[in-house]
Amino acid sequence: MNGAEYIVRFLEEKGVEVIFGYPGGAVLVLYDALGKSSLQHVLTRHEQGAVHAADGYARVSGKTGVCFATSGPGATNLVTGIANAYLDSVPLLAITGQVSVDSIGRDSFQEADIVGITMPITKHNYLVRKIDELPGVLAEAWSLAREGRPGPVLIDLPKNIFTEKVELKEVVNEGQKICFKNGLARQLGKIAAVLKEAQRPLIFAGGGVVAADAEKELAAFVHYTGIPVVTSLMGKGVVAEKEEFVLGMVGMHGRPAANLAMSECDLLLALGTRFSDRVTGNPEHFLEDVKIIHVDIDPAELLKNVEADYPVVCDLCVNF
């Protein structure tokens, strides 16, 4: 079995049903293996269309979106879509072709450092230089795209990797280790106390609620407490907006009632949101006299844009 066949078989075993892409010279062997598989391929007219389609597929299906592109301009055409998936925490696996290992660094035809280019906009990325690395990289990349805070992962594969033989072996992936320095167990007592004291509490639900598949838990919590809800753009739909306690989206494009509620609350319970500038305006003057509880699976999001009184690292579905 060559590297291309291994990749296709791996994706089949992971339950992938559809792949979006546009072929080119560096990935022809991969496409040859794809044509012999059970996987459906959607041929787009441009690589950017492929990555945006994979992004949209992931959002709607809840699965990991997969896209293929060739080397050089094919790979760089994915950049905008990868950045979009990164900012919105969408699980995505991008597989790109690259010049042969012995041609890397020689300014070869259609050579581009896609690993360096996408480093700021991926959860992680890889350049596979040896065929023996391929099984472990695929397993780790697949897990990283979904674990913790979801996001895009890119694997750059020199074209010789597709043709070289690879041994079938079981790969054990330990998964992502998440820091729980400010875990729920340490903060729960304080949170319960401030919730009891609050006169005008408000829930701010973001896209993290969707990513955690925690809509039912949120609805149950809201009905039990009676605390009104506003959402970010990414959080729209986590609770039915026809409910009387749901005030709609906040921010510069949000509803007046939602913005008024946020400006007048005395406690904000923010769930899975990054506090973008579309919501906060000038972060230095955002809800200056309001206590903020910020819950997110990604420790890097806490205290990044807004100072939270109670930062909490946890999975919303598991720990809600």
Judge if 46 and 112 occupy the same domain. Answer: yes
Residues 253 and 206 in one domain: yes
pLDDT, tens digit, 9 for 90 and up, residues 27-36? 999 999 999 9
Inside any domain, residue 277 = yes
* Residues 133 and 267 grouped into a single domain: no
Handedness of CA 309, 314, 315, 318 (dihedral sign): negative
Interacting residues of 295 by C-beta distance below 8 A, sequence separation 6+: 184, 208, 269, 270, 271, 272, 312, 314, 316
Q: Given this model, what pLDDT does residue 178 score? A: 46
What's the CATH number where 246 sits?
A: 3.40.50.1220
Q: Euclidean distance between the first and final Cα of the chain, in Å?
A: 45
Return mean pLDDT, the chain. Answer: 91
pLDDT for the residue numbered 314: 86
266 and 299 co-located in one domain: yes
Whether 7 and 29 have beta carbons less than 8 Å apart is answered as no
Asked if the structure places residue 289 within a domain, the reply is: yes
Question: At which of 128, 163, 198 does a domain end?
Answer: 163
**Measured distance CA(211)–CA(25) in Å, rounded:** 36
Domain count across the chain? 2
Rounded to a whole number of angstroms, the CA Rg of the chain reads 22
Distance, in Å, from the CA atom of 168 to the CA atom of 231, rounded to the nearest integer, reads 47
Please report whether residue 65 resides in a domain: yes
Residue 192 and residue 155 share a domain? no
Q: What is the pLDDT of residues 259-270, one digit of tens each?
A: 999 999 999 999
Say whether both 141 and 285 belong to one domain: no
Look at residue 301 and tell me whether its pLDDT is greater than 80: yes
On whether the CB atoms of residues 273 and 210 are closer than 8 A, the answer is no
Lowest-confidence pick of 42-46, 264-268, 316-320: 316-320
Confidence tier at 131 by pLDDT (50, 70, 90): very high
Confidence tier at 99 by pLDDT (50, 70, 90): very high
Q: Tens digits of per-residue pLDDT, 173-200?
A: 555 444 455 677 778 888 899 999 999 9
On whether both 108 and 149 belong to a single domain, the answer is yes
Does residue 175 lie within any of the structural domains?
no
pLDDT (0 to 100) of residue 171: 67
Domain contains 87: yes
**What are 75's two structure tokens?**
């790979």
Give the span between the Cα atoms of 6 and 138, in whole angstroms. Answer: 10
Residue 172 lies in a domain: no
Percent of the chain with pLDDT over 70: 94
Residue 221 in this model has a pLDDT that exceeds 50: yes
What's the confidence (pLDDT) of residue 172? Answer: 59
Answer whether residue 173 is part of any domain.
no
Say if residue 126 is in the same domain as residue 203: no
CATH number at residue 159: 3.40.50.970
Look at residues 203, 119, 211, 201 and name the one whose alpha carbon lies nearest to residue 156.
Answer: 119
Q: Where are the alpha helices (DSSP H) in 198-281?
A: 207-211, 215-225, 256-264, 277-280
Residue 84 is assigned to a structural domain of this protein: yes
Q: What residue numbers bound the domain in which 106 lies?
A: 3-163
Which residue's entry shows tokens 């949209």? 56
What pLDDT is attached to residue 107? 85
Q: Same domain, yes or no, for 132 and 84?
A: yes
Q: Where are the beta strands (DSSP E) in the chain?
A: 18-21, 40-43, 65-69, 92-98, 124-127, 152-158, 201-205, 229-231, 246-249, 267-271, 291-296, 310-313
Residues 15 and 140 in one domain: yes
The residue among 106, 134, 163 that closes a domain is 163
Average pLDDT rounded to a whole number, residues 77-97: 97
